[in-house]
């Protein structure tokens, strides 16, 4: 019928009438405005991930290669998932504002400062697509998490890599010095992946205030929940101050949602409006994932218990490395990096033969291993394998 509403039109109309759901309107027209990608390559890290998975070939005793949280999700989140399945045939557009409001209330911002998606990945891709189009550059530390800059480089952006400091932290001064008229974005991963180091909070706030006047600053805080006081270290304060800053958060780490996919950014309303043109505007989030997130967000007892167990496993790993005569970079996240005494790929292969999955990097003319923090039984499996080949 000519006058009948199609499904998406009805959803948009109903959401508007329900109040507070205007963020879903215009999805089709926004998606139509997205640039056409004629030749897209996966990021370098994605290729590495695929290679690692392809080489597993058997069940691991210790899965210590993806910075996952082996202790989560919480019991409340699991129960919420089960309850949500019954009505998972329904679009969860009435539930989305509940999580938006929860995050906004806790952070002291407005829901219009937030945009969620199915993990941080699509938001990082949106940033890569928009901020480096036309050959603009993205400035990052080296090494650092390479999903955003790798995808930018695979499109038509350029990637400027800045070496870390002597203590393996992001060199903010050197990164600022690289900013010029062609800089589209400065990407800060803090705590940094793969080194698990964190920069001084006051210095980073000052950096954000200065540099955001010249270009956009993207602060990826995927691992910030592993810090003793995340609220004291976050750059959400820079967003509140009106700076041109984007802060990314994820449920994939301490909350244990890596396989369920939920992440979000916090920024100025006009920046959120721009991201909506390059994303599905929360429509990729499943009903069970959303229900779990609503139940788990700021579930203090669970988060504290998970952090405690993570730190216990980390201390055990430190002791193993020390006993075997290895140094390591002190970690502010749920993984530890240490220099190897043999070829990195060979080391990973030998550990894999023993049922232990880890990762390797090469920088500063050294081979390095990154070990994700697992359950104590996984860390013991690492120790047994490591002692055989160290």
pLDDT in tens, 91-139: 998 999 999 999 999 999 999 999 999 999 999 999 999 999 999 999 9
- Of the given ranges (26-40, 88-102, 133-147), which has the lowest mean pLDDT? 26-40
Q: How far apart are CA 234 and CA 30, in angstroms?
A: 30
Domain boundaries, the chain: 44-72+300-389, 75-296
- With a CB cutoff of 8 Å and minimum separation 6, the contacts of 229 are none
pLDDT over threshold 60, residue 331: yes
Residue 359, C-beta contacts closer than 8 angstroms, at least 6 positions apart? 48, 52, 65, 194, 348, 369, 370, 371
Q: Taking all residues of the chain, what is their mean pLDDT, rounded to a whole number?
A: 89
**Cβ(73)–Cβ(380) below 8 Å:** no
Shortest CA distance to 57 belongs to which of 354, 388, 298, 311?
Answer: 354
Q: What percent of the chain has pLDDT over 70?
A: 85
Mean pLDDT in residue range 351-356 = 96
Report the SS3 class of residue 186: strand
* Domain 44-72+300-389 part of CATH 3.90.1150.10: yes
Distance of CA 369 to CAs 11, 65, 362, Å? 49, 10, 9
pTM of the model: 0.87
Whether omega for the bond prior to residue 191 falls within 30 degrees of 0, making it cis, is yes
Q: Output the pLDDT for position 57.
A: 52
What's the pLDDT score for residue 52?
A: 56
Per-residue pLDDT tens for 185-219? 999 999 999 999 999 999 999 999 999 999 999 99
| pLDDT at residue 84 greater than cutoff 50 | yes
Instruction: Say which CATH topology domain 75-296 has.
Output: 3.40.640
């Amino acid at each position: 019928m000519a006058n009948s509403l199609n499904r998406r039109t009805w959803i948009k109309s109903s959401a508007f009438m329900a109040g507070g759901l205007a963020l879903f309107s215009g999805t089709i027209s926004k998606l139509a405005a997205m640039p056409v990608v004629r030749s897209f390559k996966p990021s370098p890290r994605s290729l590495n991930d695929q290679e690692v998975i392809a080489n597993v070939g058997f069940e691991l005793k210790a899965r210590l290669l993806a910075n996952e949280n082996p202790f989560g999700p919480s019991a409340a989140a699991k129960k919420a998932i089960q309850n949500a399945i019954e009505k998972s045939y329904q679009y969860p557009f009435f539930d989305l504002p509940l999580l938006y409001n929860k995050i906004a209330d806790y952070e002291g911002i407005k829901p219009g400062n937030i945009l969620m998606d199915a993990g941080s990945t699509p938001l990082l891709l949106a940033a890569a697509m928009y901020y480096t189009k036309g050959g603009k550059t993205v400035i990052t530390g080296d090494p650092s998490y390479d999903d955003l800059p790798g995808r930018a480089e695979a499109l038509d952006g350029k990637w400027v890599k800045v070496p870390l400091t002597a203590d393996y932290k992001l060199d903010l001064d050197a990164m600022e010095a690289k900013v010029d008229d062609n800089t589209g974005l400065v990407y800060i991963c803090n705590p940094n992946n793969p080194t698990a180091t964190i920069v001084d909070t006051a210095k980073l706030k000052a950096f954000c205030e200065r540099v955001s006047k010249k270009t956009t600053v993207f602060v990826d805080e995927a691992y910030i929940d592993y810090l003793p006081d995340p609220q004291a270290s976050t750059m959400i304060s820079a967003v509140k101050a009106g700076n041109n800053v984007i802060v990314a958060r994820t449920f994939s780490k301490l909350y244990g949602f890596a396989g369920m996919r939920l992440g979000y950014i916090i920024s100025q309303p006009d920046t959120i409006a721009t991201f909506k043109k390059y994303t599905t505007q929360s429509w990729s989030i499943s009903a069970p994932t959303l229900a779990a997130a609503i139940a788990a967000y700021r579930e203090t007892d669970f988060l504290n218990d998970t952090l405690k167990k993570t730190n216990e496993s980390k201390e055990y790993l430190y002791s193993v490395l020390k006993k075997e005569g290895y140094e390591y970079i002190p970690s502010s996240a749920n993984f530890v990096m240490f220099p190897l005494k043999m070829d990195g790929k060979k080391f990973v292969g030998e550990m894999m033969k023993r049922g232990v999955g880890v990762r390797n990097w090469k920088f500063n003319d050294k081979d390095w291993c990154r070990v994700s923090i697992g359950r104590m039984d996984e860390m013991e499996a690492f120790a047994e394998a490591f002692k055989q080949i160290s």
